[in-house]
Amino acid sequence: MDNGLFSFGGNIGSLVQMAIAPAFLFVALGSVLRVLNNRLTRLTNRLRSLEEKLAQPRGTEDAPVDQEFIKQELLDLYGSRRALYRAITLAAAAALLTCLLILTIFVDDLLDIDLVQTTALLFVTSIACLVGSLLLFLREIVLSSRRLYIVIRRRIAPSIP
């Protein structure tokens, strides 16, 4: 069946060209996943550090432990971790959908099946997952910035309004 949009009449070079844009999207999603994973690693290390401090009831004479402040920071970090987990899940879903999109482009032409609507749905869903992932990443950045401001205000410069 010649649907016009994806039919390349056996010209594999044209078919590969059609799959290049989703392939670039897939590479970009890999970069997004790497950034999200790096942030999650740092956040997890910070969580462990604070949980260890919380386990020491008094700390040291030079550095007493403010239990309530640590508990609040832990709650904030758990919120950030939740946002990062969701962002990673959506980015991974977008990558999976992009792989399916590339596969669908080839199946459409090679088996001469009309999968234009499926291809469009996969593309739109993949982009929607990417947008959701980036919005959650932005949310995590806002949470981290707010947390940093609170830490600076409380420990370094209590006179900052």
The pLDDT of residue 19 is: 78
CA distances from 43 to 28, 123, 134 (A): 23, 32, 18
Q: Give the C-alpha separation, 90 to 127, whole Å.
A: 10
Q: Which residue has the tokens 């904030």?
A: 76
Determine if the pTM surpasses 0.75.
yes
User: In this predicted structure, what is the pLDDT of residue 156?
Assistant: 72
pLDDT score of 28: 94
Task: Quote the pLDDT of residue 112.
Answer: 83
What is the structure's pLDDT at 128? Answer: 98
Residues in the chain with pLDDT values less than 50: 1
Q: Tell which residue, 121, 119, 137, has the closest CA to residue 29.
A: 137
